[in-house]
Structure 1
């Protein structure tokens, strides 16, 4: 079973990315919001993945955190919810939004996801109620993704933020330090 991929981001075209590991390119479907936090092409990326096997396909689904992967695996175990529906849910709602909908007993909030009708949403709310997976869902976001989100919040476009972070060393650095380096690069300071 494949659980983790670490390699160079070779390509990103929603809804898939290609991660090159040891000379092999793995096509991985990721939730739509994750595209904003991807590093630039050629940079290292780590994805927690789930291999879903059907009689007509083998598909990889990827996430930045193990908690998101666990939430995905919990969703696909619910009767009537397949991998594509689970991915649609995680694209329409972040894990915190999904947890809030379950806690508030609000299945209608889940129908924002394409392919999720009211009956499926009600089943999901019932199945997820009281599950530990929702408590773990808002897990640690990678420093690179936090830095991109901060730069976007400061008014930079996501592509400009990714460009500023290209080549900025992130390993072992605090998010604030990464942001300072990127800002210096954006202002022409380095």
Structure 2
């Protein structure tokens, strides 16, 4: 097997595990299912990875990194803080499949393993931090009322986003997710610089 073939096998294993974790969760992602999805044999799988936890960590870490990269495309773009938050919340998603990172929090085996849980925690810490910084930037620029608490509001945005996925999956339609996003953006718009004068 050439170096390219070995790299290709490892890539197929990681990508197949990512797909299966999103579809079935950790418990439902068996080594056999990974091998069938990837077309990679058992010997090759254990040549590249120590076992299912090692492969799952590679898959979860890649999913988390991809989410950050996609997120930064909106959060680092030109525009006001609200423009960038809006772009992030309204970007195209496969809503009914749920958040590929958020869904892992419902998996007891992932949450019980500090190593597997770490990229999940780090992703949410990153997202809350990015929203906190943006909201603080917007408040400093006079875009939001001084009464707005950036950290608490950032936590609210993340909670609404994840809750929107849950509501959409429960209803088997995207409308609840869209409504949740519309609601939190409406609250942010209402926290504009005239909010204190209205109160």
Q: TM-score, normalised by structure 1?
A: 0.32
Compare CA radii of gyration and give the structure with the larger one: 2
Name whichever structure is richer in strand by fraction. 1
RCO higher in 1 or 2 (8 Å CA, sep ≥ 6)? 2
Name whichever structure is richer in helix by fraction. 2
